[in-house]
Amino acid sequence: MKTAAIQKEELIYLRIANNIEHKINNEVIKLGDKLPSIREMCREHGVSMSSALQAYYVLEGKGLIESRPQSGYYVCYSNKRFPKKPETTQPVYSTEVQDTETIINKVYAEIGTKKNTNFALGVPAAGLLPVAKLNKALTHAIRSLDGGTEYGLIQGNEKLRRQIARGSFTWGGKLDEDDIVSTAGCMNALSFCLLSLVQRGDTIAVESPVYFGILQLAQSLGLNVMELATNPTTGVEIEALKKALQTKKIKLCLLISNFNNPLGSCMPDEHKREVVKLMEKYNVPLIEDDLYGDVYFGNHRPKCCKTYDESGIVLWCGSVSKTLAPGYRVGWVAPGKFKEKIIKTKRYHSVSASEITQEAIGDFLENGRYENHLRKLRHTLHCNSMQYMRCISEYFPSDTKVSHPQGGFIQWVELNKKINSIKLYELAVQQKISFAPGSMFTLQKQYNNCLRLSYGLDWNEKVENALKMLGRLAKGML
């Protein structure tokens, strides 16, 4: 039981935090303003140093303020100055598919150029990852596996699968280790799902815009892609999905339910439940790409479509590539009733994934290090996203629209229609700045005035200056 003194102390710091939050939301305290020091807070409110610190920790946890070493606490959020959000997309289907290979190759060619400020790659910077702890986990894995030179189980490392199943409880999943099949990253999981469930000439439905890797994969398998209207806040439009399913042409749906790449949208729980009902009604499998679900900025992890799956029609895919270790290539799928098909496909195409890296990640998850790392990563990325929106509001053309993601790494920017983002990209590269033009994320002729920015970088003056230059170049094109 908490003593009355402890409860009173909690009420005090929460009251202080709520008061500051109210002032931030109403711009009484503005973005970038320095807050009173801890000692000043103690004198002003007549509270202990512990209460003052707890109040700031609460505000930090909400991404409203940030601590700067040897300087103090600063406001990093303002909900009124940020640009408007883009409207719901309205993709128009055409049998004439545009070629995106050229621009994708250009963007990827710049990724390895270390001198560039790279907004194109949607992964966290190395400085945001627990490299030393991962190295220890890898060493421990090699010892545990006696060198790790043997093939692992086709279904995947048992420790890894057990930890993934255990972690599913955070989003209401009811998985056990036998429900999971490991893969070499999330794209590998998506590949196995498509190879197992559709054939050349079939049509799949996706959000629009959608991650270009999914489009390239679908094209390589000879699939037709139907792009669906998508809201930058709530994800795929339910009515658009329903109409597509009613045509009886859709063989499979592939949706990024949480913090979509590139829009950053997150489907509300009721939408996820409705999507699963539609899949069951029309007997159409749903591949759910939940790559970003652990990187949420709110108080709890969002649920998944898989949460509401009673029939096994949802194939839930994930990975640690965007949160922990991109180069380890550790991913998975919970394929529901399609498990045997997925295992057979995996046996045909890869036999088994890397046993050492699977064991290392399994160990990292088992010892609680992953959640500790995620707490820090979420806070950093949330603050980064706010800084990006501040810079865009200050430096970009006044009619620029920006998605307001509540998780993930990605911001979608919609510029004036007079601005061609491929031409903007060519100008930016000359200034050693790289980003992903919007036309990469569709097979139709659209999003030419849009671009995707990654805020998974270490925030510093160089990044802000690059955003300032990008805004200046955009203004110059008007």
Residue 162 belongs to domain with CATH number? 3.40.640.10
d(CA 50, CA 36): 15
Q: Is residue 93 part of a domain?
A: no
Is 385 inside any structural domain? yes
Domain assignment present for residue 89? The answer is: no
Residue 46 belongs to some domain of the structure: yes
User: Alpha-carbon distance 243 to 402, whole Å?
Assistant: 28
How are beta strands 410-414 and 401-402 bridged, if at all?
Answer: antiparallel
CB-based contact 263:87 (threshold 8 Å)? no
Residue-level pLDDT at 6: 45
> Is there a single domain that holds both residue 395 and residue 422?
yes
Tell me which of 327, 345, 370 is where a domain ends.
370
CATH number at residue 427: 3.90.1150.10
Residue where a domain terminates, one of 355, 370, 385: 370
Which pLDDT score is estimated for 121? Answer: 86
| Neighbour order of strands in the sheet with 410-414 | 401-402, 410-414, 450-454, 436-437
Q: Which amino acid appears at position 339 of this protein?
A: K
Range(s) of the domain holding residue 195: 132-370
80 part of a folded domain: no
Residue 88 lies in a domain: no
The full DSSP string for 397-411 is -TT-EE---SBSSEE
Distance between CA atoms of residues 406 and 264, nearest Å: 7
Distance of alpha carbon 341 from alpha carbon 198, whole angstroms: 12
Q: What is the CATH number of the domain that holds 14?
A: 1.10.10.10
Looking at the fold, whether 345 and 462 belong to one and the same domain comes out as no
pTM recorded for the entire structure? 0.85
User: What is the C-alpha to C-alpha distance for residues 49 and 273, in angstroms, rounded to an integer?
Assistant: 46
Residues of the chain with pLDDT under 70: 1-10, 61-63, 78-81, 95, 111-114
268 preceded by a cis bond (ω within 30 of 0): no
CA count, 13 A, side-chain hemisphere, 312: 8
- Residue 84 in any domain: the answer is no
pLDDT at 45: 87
Model confidence pLDDT, tens digit, residues 203-240:
999 999 999 999 999 999 999 999 999 999 999 999 99
Task: List beta partners, residue 317.
Answer: 289, 333
Written as six digits, the tokens of 142 are 């090699």
CA dihedral 119, 87, 265, 56 (to 10 degrees): 80
In a domain, 453, yes or no: yes
Q: What are phi and psi of 117, to 5 degrees?
A: -85, 110
pLDDT at residue 80, as a whole number: 62
Please write down the long-range contacts of 48-56, taking CB distance under 8 Å and 24 or more positions apart: 48/9, 50/9, 51/9, 51/12, 51/13, 51/16, 52/13, 52/16, 54/10, 54/13, 54/17, 55/13, 55/14, 55/16, 55/17, 55/20, 56/17
Task: Assess contact for 387 and 459: CB atoms under 8 A.
Answer: yes
What pLDDT is recorded for position 354?
85
The CB density around residue 311, as the number of other CB atoms within 10 Å, is: 11
CB 416 within 8 Å of CB 449: yes
Containing 185, the helix (H) or strand (E) segment is none
Supply φ then ψ for residue 281, to 5 degrees: -60, -40
Domain count, the chain: 3
